[in-house]
Amino acid sequence: MRALLPLALLFAAPDLVAGGEPMPRVTTDSREYCVELADRLGVLPGARDDAVRRLAEDGMQLCNNGHPRTGVAKLRRAIRAAQLHP
């Protein structure tokens, strides 16, 4: 049980850079990132699936209407679904 404690602390701690400071997370919530995700989705084999297409369309519509954070989330879901699609 004692051996698991350091492992648990490792997973509970934030990402640290060499100096011991937390590593900043970069999040991109912009129209440009939406387009980048849509382009990435377009080359995946499962991108033609109706459910994936609807998610992507909803995501792009949200991005275009000023809601990039929600749009990015939908586009990422579409990418994951397209990757799982046979």
**Is there a domain that residue 36 lies in?**
yes
**Is there a domain that residue 65 lies in?**
yes
Per-residue pLDDT at 59: 96
Confirm if 47 and 84 have CB atoms less than 8 A apart.
Answer: no
Domains contained in the chain, number: 1
Q: What is the pLDDT of residues 5-52, one digit of tens each?
A: 444 444 444 444 455 666 555 567 788 999 999 999 999 999 999 999
**Is there a domain that residue 5 lies in?**
no
**Is there a domain that residue 11 lies in?**
no
Per-residue pLDDT at 13: 46
Per-residue pLDDT at 86: 66
Give the global pTM.
0.68
Nearest C-alpha neighbor of 48 from the set 56, 60, 59: 56
Per-residue pLDDT at 85: 74
**Is there a domain that residue 10 lies in?**
no
**Is there a domain that residue 18 lies in?**
no
Q: Which residues contact 31 (CB under 8 A, 6 or more apart)?
A: 63, 64, 68
**Is there a domain that residue 71 lies in?**
yes
Burial class (CB in 10 A: 0-12, 13-18, 19+), 77: middle
**Is there a domain that residue 9 lies in?**
no
The boundaries of the domain holding residue 45 are 26-84
